[in-house]
Amino acid sequence: MSDTPRTEFHPGWDGAPLAVHRLGKGRPLLLLHGLFSSAAVNWVKYGHAARLAVAGFEAIMPDLRGHGQSAAPHAAEAYPRDVLARDLAALVSALGLADYDLAGFSLGARTAVRGVVAGLAPARLVLGGMGLEGLTGWSGRGAFFVDVIDRFGTIEREEGAAWMAQAFLKGSGTDRVAARHLLLAVDNTTPEQLAGIAMPTLVVCGAEDRDNGSAPALAEALPAARYAEVPGNHMSCVTRPDLSEAMVSFLAPT
């Protein structure tokens, strides 16, 4: 089996072309990447997609709006509330998915949750790099990244997390205008909405990752969730095989 994904384009909620990369021939597994990243970086580069394909899945990896090879419109009206969840629903429909699993990392996990809250019904759910506060208290986290975009190029190393976010944004080449619109379109998820997510769920997070709050608390807030800890922090855990190994263990137990 080739480790090179095949790429196609499908319309988002408003017809904007979204790149979708596919690897493997098994059970459909939608994989959503994180902020300022792409399918290639989160899922392909470090072998996660290939590992999942070997385990019997077809890794279906969209580039989120404003990222990777997908459209990055600059008009504010292209980013209504929950735009990524709208795009996700459009892709599920365009791909004809009925029985599938859904996984996301960081912004991808947040998008997966918002998609389920809006009515999507994957059989199983994986939320990576996400904690309870990152869903219920998004406004503060979102404001942090908006500030990084607004001060792009002026943030000094002494600012720590903001400097690192600036460096990652610069390295990824993500369209800053599109990303800013996108950040303002993300909505909070209420405890009541989390309590309504009934499918089996894996919450998987780096042992040193507190970027989005408490992952164990998120697992406790979901009716049918379990927590798995993997090595690393928010940035490093995606570079290690442990992340997709935990996913395989949950999605395709031997």
Query: What are the extents of the domains in the chain?
Result: 6-251
pLDDT at 1 over 70: no
Is residue 108 exposed (0-12), middle (13-18) or buried (19+ Cβ within 10 Å)?
buried
pLDDT in tens, 183-232: 999 989 999 999 999 999 999 999 999 999 999 999 999 999 999 999 99
User: What is the pLDDT, as a whole number, of residue 65?
Assistant: 98
pLDDT in tens, 22-47: 999 999 999 999 999 999 999 999 99
Residue 254 banded pLDDT, cuts 50, 70, 90: low
User: What is the pLDDT, as a whole number, of residue 253?
Assistant: 75
Alpha carbon distance 18, 20 (integer Å): 6
- CATH top-level class of 6-251: alpha beta
pLDDT in tens, 82-92: 999 999 999 99
DSSP string computed for 15-54: S-EEEEEEE-SSEEEEEE--TT--HIIIIITTSHHHHHHH
Cβ-based neighbour number of residue 169 at 10 Å: 18
The CB-side HSE value for 24 (13 A sphere, CA atoms) comes to 23
User: What is the pLDDT, as a whole number, of residue 140?
Assistant: 86
User: What is the pLDDT, as a whole number, of residue 2?
Assistant: 63
pTM of structure:
0.97
pLDDT in tens, 48-94: 999 999 999 999 999 999 999 999 999 999 999 999 999 999 999 99
Ramachandran angles phi, psi of 242, nearest 5°: -55, -35
Q: Tell me the mean pLDDT in the region 93-99.
A: 97
Q: Tell me the mean pLDDT in the region 157-173.
A: 95
Phi-psi category of residue 160: left, alpha or beta, with phi > 0 → left and psi -120 to 50 → alpha = left
pLDDT in tens, 13-23: 999 999 999 99
